[in-house]
Copies of this chain bind each other. A is one copy, B any other.
Amino acid sequence: MNEVFVKLVSRRYNKAMNTPEAHDLLERLSNLLRMETRAFGLKYGLQPVQVEALKYLTECNRYSDTPQAVGDYLGLTKGTVSQSLKVLEQKGLLTKRHDKEDKRLLHLTPTLKGKNLIKKTTQGQHLAFALTAAQSASSTDLAQVLQTVLRTLQQANGRKPFGACHSCRFHERGPQGSVCGLTQEPLSLEDSQRLCREHEYPDEAQG
């Protein structure tokens, strides 16, 4: 049964050749995620990086709870990390403790307060909701799943979707080519394929 499954999926992926599209979608999701984290952190006076560092520390094992590891994980230099950790410590969200074997090493442990904050982070973000929506959607195409996630997130945040013109509810196909139902202006084929800030999805559509 899994065999059949695999074949179907592979076929769809190859046919769609949607790598550049998935690329774009991931980038846009990436941006939105960052904004969510920023907005959340603001409520607690924390910067996005600080939230992410604290989150990492609640998820790593005892070989990986050092400033160096945080830097490797987040892709930041040790200097930058050092400052973020200082803030987290001052706010009572984590404690530092020197390793007994190697006194250069610092072990970082989130306090109860820190752990609770991270719990709230995950709950507070709309991403969880968006992911649930995407997972209950019927598509197996990566680009389509990502698109569902993105759209749900954008709705939740009250952001414009910026979809491709041809997928818009105002897009009208006339005898002499396409027309924008909002401006009543004719659209070239190229226009129709581009992103539009006024884009609105049709009521029923999913893709």
Contacts and interface: CB of A to CB of B under 8 A. Distances in A.
A164 to B, nearest CB: 9
A190 to B, nearest CB: 8
Interface in A134-186: 134-136, 138, 140, 142, 145, 149, 159-160, 162, 165, 180, 183
A97 B32 CA distance: 29
Taken together, the copies of this chain in the complex come to 2
Interface size classification for chain A: 35 or more
A56 B28 CA distance: 10
A42 interface: no
Contact of A127 (B26, B142, B197): B26
A60 interface: yes
Given A22-B131, A61-B195, A195-B56, A73 B30 contact: no
A41 to B, nearest CB: 13
B127 A13 contact: no
A114 B113 CA distance: 48
Interface stretch (A62-70, A85-93, A104-112): A62-70
A99 interface: no
A98 interface: no
A29 B31 contact: no
Interface of A: 1-2, 5-6, 8-10, 13-14, 18-20, 22-24, 26-27, 29-35, 37, 52, 56, 59-64, 69, 72-75, 122, 125, 127-128, 131-132, 134-136, 138, 140, 142, 145, 149, 159-160, 162, 165, 180, 183, 187, 191, 194-198
22 contacts: A1-B8, A9-B138, A9-B140, A10-B138, A13-B136, A20-B122, A20-B128, A22-B135, A23-B127, A26-B33, A30-B30, A31-B74, A32-B75, A59-B194, A60-B162, A60-B195, A63-B183, A63-B196, A64-B194, A72-B159, A73-B162, A75-B159
